[in-house]
Structure 1
Amino acid sequence: MTSSLLRARPRRATAHIRVRVTHAVPGALAGAWWLVLPVMTAVSGAPVPVASAAPQQGGTSAADLVLPLVVGVAALALAGYGSLRRTRRARTRTTPGTVSARPAAPTPADSERQARAALRLADDCVRTSEEELSLVRELFGEERTEPFTHALRAAETELSAAFAIWRRYEQGVPEEAGARRQALVGVIGRCAEAGRRLDAEAAALDRLRGLDAAPRDADREGGQGSRGVGAALVVAEERFRELAARTVTAQEVLAALRERYAPSAVGPAAGYVEQAKDRLLFATARLNEARQAVDAGDRERAVRQLRAGEGAVVQAGVLVDGVERLAARLREAAALVPAALTGAEAELAAARRGRERTTAAQPHARPAHADVVLAAVREELTGGPYDPLDALRRITRAAGRPGGPRSGVLDTAAQLVARGSVAVAEEFVSVHRGAVGAQARARLAEAVRELAAGDADRADAAAGEARELAERDVRAYGTPHLGTEGDTAGLAGAVLGGILLTETQDTGTPAAYGGPHTRSRHQD
């Protein structure tokens, strides 16, 4: 029966013993052969040549035993030396399969950095893909672009799940260390899957657009003028001209808003017109270069310049749309404020009656505070320019019950405020994503989830925090090349907006539809 000690001996230790025995046996056999050799010679009577000229005496001399002894000692020494070398090699080995070869487990801080980087990259890929796809739909329609839309929506779903996991992680859920490591692995895995979905369709999108073939091949495959860089240029230039006219109008609208409302009301769109002009300046240079490259037959250069120009045009549209949407929200909010005040006063009166029936001794601190807020809002209505959206926010927070239902008008007001906050944060992150970090993006994703779930208060709070964090990131980032000769074509805005993936003007790589492996495929 095998002892427990022998059963517990590792196979690697057994293998080492076998090797040592294998090295020692030949030496032992050689020594034994030399010891037996004189006896065999005496029995057979055959002469054995010797190296020494000394006369032989009867029996076995001491000299006959020296050489076998030396051989045996040498064999044992070699076996010991080999064992020592193997031991040292095992301790320092770096090949796979040994304990020392295993890479050190990442620290929680390392895993968090990887997760934040993955979230930011995946969010950039989704936003860039949405921008390019909006132009492709305009050229080819919904039906032909459905596979790319489907891939984009699947990537958005994965990214939303990754942001949700990350948000819970930030809040301390789960608490156990191993589970938290797995949560970070889940974030990184979800982001990788989002990128994979987009990478899988990038080549097909280029084939549809005709960006992967010479112009004559594109015309032969898809019909004259329906594919290729030339057709895409037509769409981009048409949208550019439309935005150039709308930018002038947006500037007039913004000036009128400043006269009618308080500065805080117009603050979310401050600088939008100037940034839109910057993007259009960049688009002008890139689309012109793309047209020249098409005329010269340089397809690769034409594709690069086209994608850079398209990205700038889309972002200019986001900024101009932002001014127009803000004006519409302010008008709607101003019209809703009187009804919201009436609804809030009715809510407070009902709350007082309910409390009086419950207990007359309970203090009414909250209704008293709400009365102060409502009185201040009424005074603002007659005191000159004010911020209608902020007024609605204060009304709904003063009269509403946290987590409880509101009356129809108050719920409408809360939803309007929340949608406005989310839209403002979304616009800012979209056109400044070259500088915005994962924390602001995570808060924005949370705001979108809360708005979809119907919790207007939480959506408004999360969106406001996202905007503040994004503005902080932009301030820390700065504006490279601004006011220098290198920024004469709007390069700083393009880099800040994530349109270009580098700050080098001559080798800037435009971002394109796709995941991490394909988004920079139109590079030099």
Structure 2
Amino acid sequence: MGAFAGAGWLLLPVTTAGGDAPVPASPAGPVASAAAPHQDGTSTPDLVLPLVAVGAAGVLAGYGYVRRTRRARTRTTPGVVPAAPPAATPLEAERQARAALVLADDCVRGSEEELSFVRELFGEKRTEPFNRALLAARTELSAAFAIWRRYEAGVPGDAGAGRQALVGVIGRCAEAGRRLDAEAAELDRLRGLEQDTGEALEVAERRFRELTARTAAAQHTAAGLREWYALSAGAAVAGHVEQAKDRLLFATSRLNEARQAADAGDPARAVRQLRAAEGGVFQAGVLVGGVERLAAELAEAAALVPAALTGGEAEIAEARKNGGRTSLATGELHGRLAHADGVLAAVRAELTRGPYDPLDALRRVARAVERLEVGRSGAVTAAALLVARGQVGVAEDFVAVHRGAVGAEARAVLAEAVRVLEPEGGGRADEADRLAGQARDLAERDVRAHGSPWAEAAGQAVGLPGAVLGGILLTEEAEAGPPVSFGGPGTRGRRRLPEPAGPTEPAPGGPRAGTD
């Protein structure tokens, strides 16, 4: 622009040279002896400003060129600043993915706990938006677990695809949490606990009373299982009644404190204690329901065992008759037929010796027949489904009431068991049974390794260790932290007590913020 301005300045006299105005003729007279100096429209002062403009333009252009050259030399890749943080290592990315899976699964399970109480008070129609959000979060979480399982199996062959898989896991988990976070405020407005906790307390207390009666009945049921069946039959629910009582004791103390806080005009503390009590009541229901469900499944399995044995014998006879139609070699088929005959004979012997485990008997029959690869009769198929559903339910209950200690591996295996049991996943009952058993073993290992870091607080707060182990309370404060609420990572711990006003320290021996 400076160069153009200077050139225009220099050309201005040329463009105006032919446009001089006419002058009147001079009278005749003597001609001057010397001609006047020639005026061509320019002078030395007229050239100063254009030359200065051209020079400034050149300086600016040179400075810009040098600056661009230096910037290009200091870059490592086009458009990337060298100070950018380095990408996460594969181990760090895996750690982040595991943490994201655990957090998302906890958010889904905790949201279901509170939503069950909201649904009971307000009905299905008014809670439909929250049901949809929870279903969407479960769908995202299931996809994240599926991606993780493929990653663990080494399906992404190269390192780049593996990194993308981990990014996908973290992204799906974040989306699950976002779906729940988006509805948390609306659920709080629907409940209106800050204004009145009366109706919500009545719902929690009613369920507490019902569970107290069911827990007493479940104790008799668990004792009956040990009398009617083999010891292995009731092993899956060993300790459930005691844990349910512990959760109910925790709920009792929190319900009492919620009532006291509501009467004292402290809504924040009342809501906090109510949510903790609801979590304890819900998990007590899971534990008692596990005992009741197992008793029903064992009775159903005992009635199904004779039909399964008959169906198994028919499948063995079919395999002997049409053995050439299978993909097995002759020697291998004969070996499997002998094994199946032995399994069925052993089960028949157990029926005559006394108490036995009906579910385990059905499992052995179904697996022995499956190895023949000739298809199944209706009774054997029904037996396999009953066993798989029971095993998946046992693993689900264990993770639900110990989620404060269970890691990502057990949860991922359990999610795979749920997926393959559904018709969309192939309805593979044997595979689901095997995976659910593996998930239960992994979860028990995690709980043993985790221990109970809050055990020393058992004398200060009733049921506190069990509530922390069950994920009812978040370990974020000195006294175990806020209760879990409906929501994702950003909102599930929102039931915190307000900070005390001012910087003053509490008096020695006085209460601290966060103590319940």
TM-score, normalisation: structure 1: 0.77
Give the Cα–Cα distance (whole angstroms) in 2 for the partners of residues 235 and 516 of structure 1: 27
2:307 aligned with 1:333: no
2:290 aligned with 1:322: yes
Relative distance call for 1:403 and 1:441 in structure 2 (3 A) is farther
2:501 aligned with 1:519: no
Partner-residue secondary structure (3-state), 2:422: helix
Q: Which residue of structure 1 lines up, in the alignment, with residue 503 of structure 2?
A: none
Relative distance call for 1:170 and 1:291 in structure 2 (3 A) is same
Q: Which residue of structure 2 lines up, in the alignment, with residue 6 of structure 1?
A: none
* Aligned residue type for 1:269: V
Is residue 458–residue 465 contact of structure 2 (8 Å, CA) maintained in 1? no
2:372 aligned with 1:390: no
- Given the alignment, which residue of 169, 175, 178 partners 2:157? 175
More deviation in 189-198 or 399-408? 399-408
Map 1:134-173 onto structure 2 (within 5 A). Answer: 134-173=116-155
How big is the shift at 1:117?
0.4
How big is the shift at 1:407?
1.0
How big is the shift at 1:479?
1.9
Give the Cα–Cα distance (whole angstroms) in 2 for the partners of residues 469 and 447 of structure 1: 13
How big is the shift at 1:87?
8.1
* CA deviation vs aligned residue, 1:288-307 (integer Å, no higher than 9, x gap): 10001110110101010000
Is residue 104–residue 174 contact of structure 2 (8 Å, CA) maintained in 1? yes
What percentage of aligned pairs have identical amino acids?
A: 70
Map 1:191-230 onto structure 2 (within 5 A). Answer: 191-211=173-193, 213=194, 215=195, 228-230=196-198
Q: Which residue of structure 1 lines up, in the alignment, with residue 266 of structure 2?
A: 298
Q: Which residue of structure 2 lines up, in the alignment, with residue 258 of structure 1?
A: 226
Give the Cα–Cα distance (whole angstroms) in 1 for the partners of residues 418 and 485 of structure 2: 24
Give the Cα–Cα distance (whole angstroms) in 2 for the partners of residues 360 and 253 of structure 1: 45
* CA deviation vs aligned residue, 1:213-255 (integer Å, no higher than 9, x gap): 4x3xxxxxxxxxxxx3111000000000111111011000000
* CA deviation vs aligned residue, 1:421-465 (integer Å, no higher than 9, x gap): 000000000000000000000001000001103110111011000
Q: Which residue of structure 2 lines up, in the alignment, with residue 437 of structure 1?
A: 407
* Aligned residue type for 1:318: V
2:407 aligned with 1:425: no
Aligned length: 426
Q: Which residue of structure 2 lines up, in the alignment, with residue 54 of structure 1?
A: none
Q: Which residue of structure 2 lines up, in the alignment, with residue 69 of structure 1?
A: none
How big is the shift at 1:514?
0.2
Give the Cα–Cα distance (whole angstroms) in 1 for the partners of residues 327 and 386 of structure 2: 36
How big is the shift at 1:134?
0.6
* Aligned residue type for 2:169: V
* CA deviation vs aligned residue, 1:251-304 (integer Å, no higher than 9, x gap): 000000011111111011001000000000100011110001110110101010
Q: Which structure 1 residue ranges, 4+ long, deviate > 6 Å from structure 2?
A: 356-361
TM-score, normalisation: structure 2: 0.79
Give the Cα–Cα distance (whole angstroms) in 2 for the partners of residues 204 and 357 of structure 1: 61
How big is the shift at 1:362?
2.4
Q: Which residue of structure 1 lines up, in the alignment, with residue 419 of structure 2?
A: 449
Relative distance call for 1:190 and 1:306 in structure 2 (3 A) is same
* Aligned residue type for 1:100: P
- Given the alignment, which residue of 269, 275, 300 partners 2:237? 269
Partner-residue secondary structure (3-state), 2:205: helix
Give the Cα–Cα distance (whole angstroms) in 2 for the partners of residues 406 and 307 of structure 1: 48
Q: Which residue of structure 2 lines up, in the alignment, with residue 479 of structure 1?
A: 452
Partner-residue secondary structure (3-state), 2:330: coil
Map 1:86-97 onto structure 2 (within 5 A). Answer: none
Give the Cα–Cα distance (whole angstroms) in 2 for the partners of residues 435 and 141 of structure 1: 33
Is residue 486–residue 505 contact of structure 1 (8 Å, CA) maintained in 2? no
Give the Cα–Cα distance (whole angstroms) in 1 for the partners of residues 372 and 293 of structure 2: 28
- Given the alignment, which residue of 416, 421, 439 partners 1:466? 439
Q: Which residue of structure 1 lines up, in the alignment, with residue 349 of structure 2?
A: 379
Give the Cα–Cα distance (whole angstroms) in 2 for the partners of residues 358 and 289 of structure 1: 67
How big is the shift at 1:383?
1.3
Unaligned runs of 5+ in 2: 1-65, 498-516
Q: Which residue of structure 2 lines up, in the alignment, with residue 120 of structure 1?
A: 102
Is residue 481–residue 487 contact of structure 1 (8 Å, CA) maintained in 2? no
Give the Cα–Cα distance (whole angstroms) in 1 for the partners of residues 412 and 106 of structure 2: 13
* CA deviation vs aligned residue, 1:335-380 (integer Å, no higher than 9, x gap): 1111101110110001101127999992311100111111111111
Is residue 108–residue 137 contact of structure 2 (8 Å, CA) maintained in 1? yes
* Aligned residue type for 2:266: D
Give the Cα–Cα distance (whole angstroms) in 1 for the partners of residues 460 and 132 of structure 2: 38
Partner-residue secondary structure (3-state), 1:520: coil
Relative distance call for 1:464 and 1:357 in structure 2 (3 A) is closer
How big is the shift at 1:181?
0.6
Relative distance call for 1:389 and 1:173 in structure 2 (3 A) is same
Q: Which residue of structure 2 lines up, in the alignment, with residue 498 of structure 1?
A: 471
Is residue 114–residue 278 contact of structure 2 (8 Å, CA) maintained in 1? yes
Give the Cα–Cα distance (whole angstroms) in 2 for the partners of residues 231 and 360 of structure 1: 65
Is residue 326–residue 374 contact of structure 2 (8 Å, CA) maintained in 1? no
